[in-house]
Structure 1
């Protein structure tokens, strides 16, 4: 993707604009090749040729995502930075990460807007309204819903007292099992994608501190689906079933960018 940092209306406020080329749909490829367009030869070697094509407007859509007003945290998120792996013990979490979370004012009003039906009501794919063990399933903003190859949905739990993987115990197993089972059923019913072709996982660290679960197409290399950040929901359920305090005992590894405040907290504590 491409991002720009811009000032709006001369007011000194910032926005993040992310421009993404939408994926080709297989059924549109014949039209792409039939319609007249500019073709610039870049390389020709024996049987191999490379061209730059300029497709007609109807076949060259660009998806634009705007974050406005954007905080410094939003802007830093989209800037290129060095990335480091952190190995966080439970003591690190209590002494470094948790105090940092409490000291920050992370706004998740957009999550509450969805849960309270103040926004995106037309996008809800499935809801279990139970206040303790229920959730809302909605398409992620990264998915334009035009093709299944990059399917991406998010399950937002109704409970507001679970920040992340670190808070989970066996008490939460009914909730997690509901998300896993009902989420899979809703996706196969709405989109026809079987559970065997889904990657269902949680992030640690999450990008926002309200428990949520990612559902992505297995063949899609989704951002954050790498081994150092993604924890399969089925594995999380099994771990908690074996030991209620599993995520209060074990060390967790996650990536942090060098410009992130939490990275600096680990540096100051001598943990890097």
Structure 2
């Protein structure tokens, strides 16, 4: 979705778009024949464009539906290779410019090849609005002491619900989306597509491995006893993706986020060709590097300073600012 940092410290359910947003198809499924939802966007009254990315072909809009706050996210779906012949044959062209051998056209495809992925959050809160609004960001270096005195107390003081995670692990939700699962209580995990991937193209492949252990919040909690878990995720995750999608390990980027978008350990599997949100060096930690670091030093992530970005409106940023750890830039 292009979030520079998908994280809302105020409420963890709201910080995870894959659980709170509903696509048009999901809404229709939940309402029987879907007739009541076909015109729901016609009721949407636009207030403000929160973010518009021409590079990522998406737009985030804040508005109202029936006097309820709402956010609509529109994202142009990728061009599928299996539709290329039909796209080129059945589309109409409007000439925009021609100069010698160079021509520019506006291609107007058939309606069924011109999908726009649509997500709806309603009723939305101010936390959602802030999450999707363009915000100034800051780079923070969190020391061991910073984690103990600022970050950890802040996490513990908040009501970060991860019930949606437990619903997946307990097969109360999204069962049909599970690609692979290992039931072992110590080294097991569930692998399924991330909300941001429509599963239609491999170029933007994106899956999440959610660990079964419930007491590992983030990278900071990893120690030597977790090496079997991490190695299991790396090995079996790669094997499952190869078997299901024919994508080899050498074409995968496998990493953890810090700060994470929710405080239950999970690992990201993305296509190496996909510039996924949060895959930059200021947030992503390669799983293979994490394993090597913990093997070399069992308490590596308890002592090592970790760098990450925070948005200006993030409550954790306020805590770092109050502690004098986030000077004006």
Q: Does 1:23 align with 2:73?
A: no
1:57 aligned to 107, 111, 122, which one?
A: 111
Q: Does 1:191 align with 2:248?
A: no
* TM-score normalised by L of structure 1: 0.94
2:95/2:103 contact within 8 Å kept? no
Q: 1:169 to 1:15 in 2, by over 3 A?
A: farther
Deviations along 1:23-64, one digit per CA (max 9) or x if unpaired, are 1112322322211425251x4444333333322111111112
CA-CA distance at 1:7 after TM superposition: 3.1
Q: Does 1:116 align with 2:170?
A: yes
Deviations along 1:148-167, one digit per CA (max 9) or x if unpaired, are 11110000011111111011
- 1:256 alignment partner in structure 2: 310
Could you tell which deviates more after superposition, 59-68 or 262-271? 59-68
Query: 1:259 and 1:146 mapped to 2: Cα distance?
Result: 35
SS at match of 2:78: coil
SS at match of 1:99: helix
Could you tell which deviates more after superposition, 66-75 or 194-203? 66-75
CA-CA distance at 1:264 after TM superposition: 1.2
* TM-score normalised by L of structure 2: 0.78
Query: 2:164 and 2:72 mapped to 1: Cα distance?
Result: 18
SS at match of 1:215: strand
- 1:4 alignment partner in structure 2: 61
1:95 aligned to 143, 149, 165, which one?
A: 149
1:154 aligned to 192, 200, 208, which one?
A: 208
Query: 1:186 and 1:71 mapped to 2: Cα distance?
Result: 38
Report the RMSD for the aligned CA atoms in angstroms.
1.5
2:258 aligned to 204, 220, 225, which one?
A: 204
2:91/2:108 contact within 8 Å kept? no
Q: Does 1:131 align with 2:185?
A: yes
Count of residue correspondences: 269
CA-CA distance at 1:68 after TM superposition: 4.1
SS at match of 1:154: strand
Query: 2:183 and 2:122 mapped to 1: Cα distance?
Result: 30
- 1:37 alignment partner in structure 2: 92
Deviations along 1:224-243, one digit per CA (max 9) or x if unpaired, are 10111000000000000000
Q: 1:105 to 1:196 in 2, by over 3 A?
A: same
2:77/2:117 contact within 8 Å kept? yes
CA-CA distance at 1:99 after TM superposition: 1.1
Q: 1:269 to 1:45 in 2, by over 3 A?
A: farther
Structure 1 unaligned regions, length at least 5: none
> Of the two structures, which has the highest relative contact order with CA contacts closer than 8 Å and spacing of 6 or more?
2
1:142 aligned to 196, 201, 221, which one?
A: 196
Query: 1:168 and 1:24 mapped to 2: Cα distance?
Result: 40
Q: 1:98 to 1:84 in 2, by over 3 A?
A: same
